[in-house]
Amino acid sequence: MGKIQIEAYDTVEKSLIFTFTVNKENSPEYLAHTVCDEIIYKLTGKPGIARSKILYVTRKNSFTV
């Protein structure tokens, strides 16, 4: 598949903030979400939520919808 190198620069200080590589994915959407999650992690130290799945469950008339 290959790898893609991502580099983030501070344009004010004109310096490299961080760099990382990710595996090239079949899906452009999954690749974009992976890159976004990694950027958030590098900037905040907390995991990103771009690849998260959201589930909404409600109960109506005793049946799960």
Q: Helices in the chain by DSSP H: which ranges?
A: 28-44
Summarised one tens digit per residue, pLDDT across range 21-41 is 999 877 899 999 999 999 999
pLDDT of the residue at 29 = 92
Q: With contact defined as beta carbons under 8 Å apart, do 39 and 54 qualify?
A: no
Average pLDDT over the chain, rounded to an integer: 89
pTM of the model: 0.73
Length of the chain: 65
Cβ-count burial of 53 within 10 angstroms (0-12 exposed, 13-18 middle, 19+ buried)? exposed
pLDDT of residue 62: 62
Domain spans of the chain, in order of start? 3-64
Query: Going by C-beta distance under 8 Å and a sequence separation of 6 or more, which residues neighbour residue 60?
Result: none
